[in-house]
Structure 1
Amino acid sequence: MALLTSGCAAAPVIPGHASSSRTASLEHAGPWADEFRSALDHGVSDSEASMLADGKVTAAELEEAHEGVRRCLADSGLGIEYDPDGGFSLPSLDGKYPNDYFERSDPVLRACEKRYDEYVTFLFEQTRRNPERLDEAEITVPCLQRAGLVGRGYTEEQWRKDYDDDTLPFDWMDEKARQCQLDPLGLWRDG
């Protein structure tokens, strides 16, 4: 049994972690500058601040952050396996999963992410899938139409309503729908 999860959550500011936004150039952040600045203002670790300071997260920086989390988790007997599409599984290195596995592993994971990857993965994934930070409906609906999941008459307004109401007329687990969710502009994922 392995814990499988996906997502990102903001953590509280930790005293002693200085804001780095005053020294960050964010020269490559473009339309994502506010998110990079917000992350830096949030009090990220020095290692993460150095990765975010130029407003771009490279694949090498992403791997560096992931490796930091891996090492940190290993100290507590946990592993982590990242999915290239996002999300991860959190196996126990000894293969044992007591009833309180989640209650024990979640605080450790959160502490490790706070040290190495509070924002790196999120900003890497978002800037990769939507570098110009276009409206989600504007990029998702045409993808869904091309995939044949919705008709040509399906509008951005309808998508917003269906999305908010959790009544989308297709299954998000369908491979074509996942492609539109993960890479609506067709920039990086083969699908």
Structure 2
Amino acid sequence: MSLEGDGFVQTVLHDGEISDMEYQEAMTRVETCYASHNASVTYDAYGFETVESLDGTGDPLEIMGACAESDGGIVMLYDQIRRNPDNRSEEELLTACLVRSGVVDKGFTVDDFLEVMDSSASTPWEADDERVTLCNKDPLGLVSGQ
């Protein structure tokens, strides 16, 4: 699908806001794409998707790739705006969240965060730490209310 020629995407993006109705239409487009690949999609509260092949023959990652632009990116943009409405630096938000949640010490900075991310060394936190997962999904606590 050519997004330049997609009147829906142009209309949604034209006014700089995504209404609930436009979001629902985008979700319908995504779900229709997954259904056409004999798959289902579910979203968690933060907008992260889980895809399942309904007949067990399709690769969920390949199906996700095939449907990634079926809505012109509207669903992802909507969820991004929900979790970071002022479009602040993700690194700053994640660093502040990691400090606030006690994952790292109070003196941990954005530069420290970037150094950890650029390093091949292990992170100073456990990979399965739920606080880290929540910071990645909702660094400001706007979706979870925390």
Scaled by the length of structure 1, the TM-score of the pair is 0.63
Q: For the aligned residues, what is the CA RMSD?
A: 2.7
Name stretches of at least 5 consecutive residues in structure 2 with no aligned partner: none
Shift in Å, 1:164: 2.4
Name stretches of at least 5 consecutive residues in structure 1 with no aligned partner: 1-13, 18-41
Asked if structure 2 preserves the Cα contact closer than 8 Å seen for 1:58 and 1:124, the reply is no
How many equivalent pairs are there? 145
Counterpart of 1:130 in structure 2 is 84
Task: Give the letter aligned to residue 92 of structure 2.
Answer: E
Is 2:108 the partner of 1:154? yes
Q: Deviations over 1:142-180 (max 9, x none)?
A: 221111100012111001111222643113532211222
Question: Which SS does the other structure have where 1:43 is aligned?
Answer: helix
Distance across 2 between alignment mates of 1:155 and 1:63: 38
Select which of 63, 81, 97 maps to 2:56. 97
Counterpart of 1:145 in structure 2 is 99
Cα separation, partners in 2 of 1:60 and 1:153, compared to 1, 3 Å = same
Select which of 127, 130, 133 maps to 1:175. 130
Give 1:3-22 correspondences, 5 Å limit. 17=2
Asked if structure 2 preserves the Cα contact closer than 8 Å seen for 1:159 and 1:168, the reply is no
Distance across 1 between alignment mates of 2:34 and 2:50: 12
Q: Percent identity over the alignment?
A: 29
Cα separation, partners in 2 of 1:172 and 1:46, compared to 1, 3 Å = farther
Task: Give the letter aligned to residue 118 of structure 1.
Answer: G
Q: Deviations over 1:50-104 (max 9, x none)?
A: 22221222343222211122123323432222223233222233xx213xx228x
